[in-house]
Structure 1
Amino acid sequence: MANSASARKRVRQAAKSRQHNMSLRSKARTSMKKVITAIEAGDKKVAQELFQEMVPVVDAVARKGLYHKNKIARHKSRLNAKIKAMA
């Protein structure tokens, strides 16, 4: 356990930061899953709308360093390609 006051404060800060990061990461995952669900359902219009809502959410998460920017770019690219490939 942390002994000094500064170490105890860092433990508190880390816990608060971890909660915030988990919330943002969960929000990003949920937005991606919604797009995937719409694609699997075959609803192109809804998938496009959800994709447009997803992009700023995942970009913000990448900017904060919770996911690597290339990983987010890869997900956006693949989902967009799947949407465009829909009939």
Structure 2
Amino acid sequence: MANTTSAKKATRKIARRTDTNKARRSRVRGFLRTVEEAISAGDKTAAAEALKAAQPELMRAAGKGVFHANTASRKVSRLASRVKAISA
């Protein structure tokens, strides 16, 4: 348990940041899920649109430090190649 005033404040800040990061991570997962569902359904136009919406969300999360930048880039790259591979 934190004893000093600064440690108590740090604990509050960490809790607030954790909640924000959880929300951001969950939001990104939702966008990724829509892309995955469109890919599995074989709908190329819907998958492309979902990817177009998911890419800025992933990069924004990477910019905020929720994901590493390379992780976000890798996910976008792999999804883009999977969307491209769909035979429309």
Shared fold by TM > 0.5?
A: yes
Question: For 2:29, what is the secondary structure of its paired residue?
Answer: helix
Name the residue aligned to 1:65.
Answer: 65
Q: CA deviation at 1:55?
A: 0.7
Q: Percent identity?
A: 38
Q: Which letter maps to 1:46?
A: A
Question: For 1:66, what is the secondary structure of its paired residue?
Answer: coil
Runs of 4 or more off by more than 6 Å in structure 1? none
2:15 is equivalent to residue 9 of structure 1: no
Aligned residues: 87
Q: CA deviation at 1:66?
A: 1.2
Deviations 1:36-59 (A, max 9, x none): 111001111111111110011000
Name the residue aligned to 1:38.
Answer: 38
Name the residue aligned to 2:53.
Answer: 53
Supply the distance in 2 between the matched residues of 1:4 and 1:37 (Cα, whole angstroms). 49
Question: For 1:71, what is the secondary structure of its paired residue?
Answer: helix
TM-score, normalising length from structure 2?
A: 0.94
Question: For 2:76, what is the secondary structure of its paired residue?
Answer: helix
2:23 is equivalent to residue 23 of structure 1: yes
TM-score, normalising length from structure 1?
A: 0.95
